[in-house]
Amino acid sequence: MKKRFLFSLSLLSAICLTTCTRKVSLEWSAEEFETFILPPGGVEIAPGLFYDRQEITVRDWWEYLHWIRDVYGTKSAEFKAALPLTSVWGVPYRCLERLEKEYFTSGPYANFPIVGVSRAQAVAYAKWRADRILELILRHFEAIPFHPDPGPRNHFTIERYLSGKYRRCAPHPALARYIHYRLPSEEDWKKAKAYNEEVLRRYQKECQLDCEEPVNAGQNPCTQERVIRLPVASAGSGILPDSLKYIRHLSGNVAEWSATPGVTLGGSWFHKPADVAQYVLFRADKPNAWTGFRLVAEYREVGY
């Protein structure tokens, strides 16, 4: 059997994925669903709206590619379409060309933001992430059986399940909603910013001066064609305690693809600090070394 690489979910890490029957009832109200099934890795910035606390990382993308490889194969159009463009590192600064081979393939960069992916690739990832989460939830409650080797035509998707086409499993009558992922809008970003400001306000009594995380913008990583610093910071890095559930790097680490085509949010290490401080929206039309993404999650009603 092929080795499986499953999407890392803190909420569901203890789930035992064994062959099951549909003997356990999923009798949850909408309120209970929202209480117990929370989007992993997100914080609630508005009622029913969750924002990823950090950027999608290189490790996250590895897991995504491993799943596609196991389902479709490495020679498939699906696998090739999901590969990041590693050559982006040599574009802004020649001294960063070594990252074309190292950033996406080396363990030391596993927790750094994925870059070199297009907006369309980010949208595809959002769909895949939603599929995997609902699949794991339904397996946990034994609403669907576990199949170790899904293929291109029979792997779980939300659409197949809700239409009754997933392995002849009728949708569970108690499933009223599921977690839906999408790219954030400018309004979502501003809500996340306001959330962070409230976190800092509550933390002021314990915090020293300048407790807000620094903006990693305006980085010049080269001197005489030699790398003097890595311009992008690890996705989970920051000076604030993790217990605060602060949203990391909203500004100035990597810009992030938005719900609007051609527009990114927050600015990046490549942009001028004054621009990052003043503007929310930036332009990007193709993959580059300073644009990544994160997602927002919300509950979607079955039948929507």
* Sign of the torsion angle spanned by Cα atoms 123, 128, 134, 137: negative
Q: How far is Cα 218 from Cα 231, in angstroms, rounded to an integer?
A: 9
pLDDT of 237 higher than 70: yes
Window from 15-19, 144-148, 228-232 with minimum mean pLDDT: 15-19
pLDDT of 185 higher than 80: yes
**Predicted local distance difference test score (pLDDT) of residue 175:** 85
Which helix or strand (DSSP H or E) is residue 181 part of?
strand 177-182
Question: Span 199-224, mean pLDDT?
Answer: 78
- Domains in the chain with CATH codes: 43-301 (3.90.1580)
CA distance to 9, 29, 68, 162, per residue, from 175 (Å): 20, 9, 27, 10
pLDDT of 1 higher than 80: no
Band of pLDDT at residue 240, cut at 50, 70 and 90:
confident
Q: Which residues are registered as beta bridge partners of 177?
A: 301
**Predicted local distance difference test score (pLDDT) of residue 33:** 66
**Predicted local distance difference test score (pLDDT) of residue 238:** 85
Q: Which pLDDT tens digit goes with each residue over 148-161?
A: 778 899 999 999 99
CA 200 to chain centre: 24
**Predicted local distance difference test score (pLDDT) of residue 13:** 33
In terms of Cα–Cα distance, which of 113, 88, 82 is closest to 100?
Answer: 88
**Predicted local distance difference test score (pLDDT) of residue 31:** 67
Mean pLDDT of the chain: 86
**Predicted local distance difference test score (pLDDT) of residue 188:** 98
CA 76 to chain centre: 23
pLDDT of 34 higher than 90: no
Neighbours of 247 (CB within 10 A): 22
* Sign of the torsion angle spanned by Cα atoms 274, 277, 279, 283: positive
Question: Tokens 């314990």 belong to which residue?
Answer: 206
Question: Span 53-69, mean pLDDT?
Answer: 98
pLDDT of 14 higher than 50: no
CA distance to 141, 192, 199, per residue, from 43 (Å): 24, 9, 12
Q: Which pLDDT tens digit goes with each residue over 72-95?
A: 999 999 999 999 999 999 888 888
* pTM score over 0.85: yes
**Predicted local distance difference test score (pLDDT) of residue 227:** 67
Question: Tokens 């305006």 belong to which residue?
Answer: 218
Q: Which pLDDT tens digit goes with each residue over 255-282?
A: 999 999 999 999 999 999 999 999 999 9
| 3-state SS assignment for residue 248 | coil
DSSP character at residue 86: G
